[in-house]
Amino acid sequence: MEGMVVLELANVLAGPSVCQFLAELGATVIKVENISTGGDVTRTWKLPSETPDSMEGDVTAYFSCCNLGKQSIAVDIRKPGGLDCVQQLVAKADVVVASYKPGDAEKLRIDQSTLRALNPKLIYAQ
């Protein structure tokens, strides 16, 4: 997968695990996190052995287990600058992996049909 670009619009386990596997295979994976909510919710899922001072920054063991080898950006897709940023990445991406509740991707204008209009060769997985 060397040379492929994967845009991750997913949180928690399934999507991030798939994208980590793609990164391990050589893809460049860019994880898009929602800045208005503090990013992927798993950043706060601490193990009982993790105290605030045992963590490096905001990276928990759980988050690390599903996000190794990725680049990460924090944007608010609901704002024009954030949506523009994602659209620019989509134009250069080969694959998008998303995990939204039904209807949410359409509301945010990051659904398959909208993104494939920007990049007809895009593989959109949800």
Domain range list for the chain: 5-39+69-125
Least confident of 9-13, 30-34, 71-75: 9-13
Distance CA 124, CA 14 (A): 15
Answer yes or no: are the C-beta atoms of 87 and 118 closer than 8 Å.
Answer: yes
Distance CA 82, CA 103 (A): 19
On the CB side of 18, how many CA atoms lie within 13 Å of its CA? 16
pTM value is: 0.88
pLDDT > 70 in the chain, percent = 93
The first and second tokens of residue 27, run together, are 């893809």
Q: Which residue in the block uniquely carries the two structure tokens 């670009």?
A: 5
Which homologous superfamily is 5-39+69-125 in?
Crotonobetainyl-coa:carnitine coa-transferase; domain 1 (3.40.50.10540)
- Supply the mean pLDDT for the chain: 89
